[in-house]
Amino acid sequence: MIQNPAFMSRVSALAAIVAVACFPANLALAAHVPSTGPAAKSHGPKLVMPMMDPANGKKVFVDKGCVACHAINGVGGHDAPALDAHSMKELMNPFDFAAKMWNHAPAMIAAQEGAFGEQVYFNGDELADIVAFIHNDAAQHGFSERDLTAKARKMMQHEHGQKSAPKAHAKEIGHHGKGQMPRH
């Protein structure tokens, strides 16, 4: 048996690094744990991290109308902050992102009701996918006008007083000329 404390400290540190490195894989396995049986009867936390799919997040970002107010790669609205991954911190806590949404919920709901006539609702999987897309530079790299549906384009034309959306935001990045956006 090894009695060297310095060696054991290094082994413990290495074990911690391996555990952290394997954490995403453990989360993926945890998502498939059934909610019944012995694990469900324990007294500890019963949390399951959802699978996060940035490709589906891009679709949800467009389909739910996030793109009407938020831009990525200059594509989208400019009523709310741009959500370009390359301008964000390298590491992100998804709960911090959810907290930011929660803290801005009253203004976001008012904007949604004004622009779309109703509040936008998300389930947990949709929110997880949006978080994955918003924080994944590689997934955002190809995001362009080609990703916008006819419905999304219509949502982007929400009220701006007496001006259309392109005219209201003509001086901002992403809108050029007669409402045209740059190609990336």
Structure tokens at 13: 């540190």
CATH of the domain at 114: 1.10.760
* Same-domain check for residues 63 and 96: yes
**Domain, as residue range, for 156:** 54-168
CB-based contacts of 151, cutoff 8 Å, min separation 6 = 63
pLDDT for 21 equals 40
Q: Tell me the residue length of the chain.
A: 184
**Assigned domain for 173 exists:** no
* Same-domain check for residues 27 and 97: no
Euclidean distance between the first and final Cα of the chain, in Å? 61
**Assigned domain for 66 exists:** yes
* Same-domain check for residues 151 and 94: yes
**Assigned domain for 82 exists:** yes
* Same-domain check for residues 121 and 157: yes
Domains: count for the chain: 2
**Assigned domain for 75 exists:** yes
**Assigned domain for 112 exists:** yes
pLDDT for 173 equals 41
**Contact status, residue 152 vs residue 62, Cβ threshold 8 Å:** yes
pLDDT for 48 equals 87
pLDDT for 82 equals 95
DSSP result, 47-99: --PPP--HHHHHHHHHHTTGGGT-EETTEE--SS----GGGS-SS--HHHHHH
Instruction: Give the integer Cα–Cα distance in Å for 160 and 168.
Output: 7
Structure tokens at 127: 């929110």
**Assigned domain for 47 exists:** no
* Same-domain check for residues 97 and 131: yes
* Same-domain check for residues 110 and 143: yes
Mean pLDDT of successive 10-residue stretches along the chain, which has 184 residues: 45 38 42 52 80 96 94 93 91 89 93 89 94 94 93 79 46 41 40
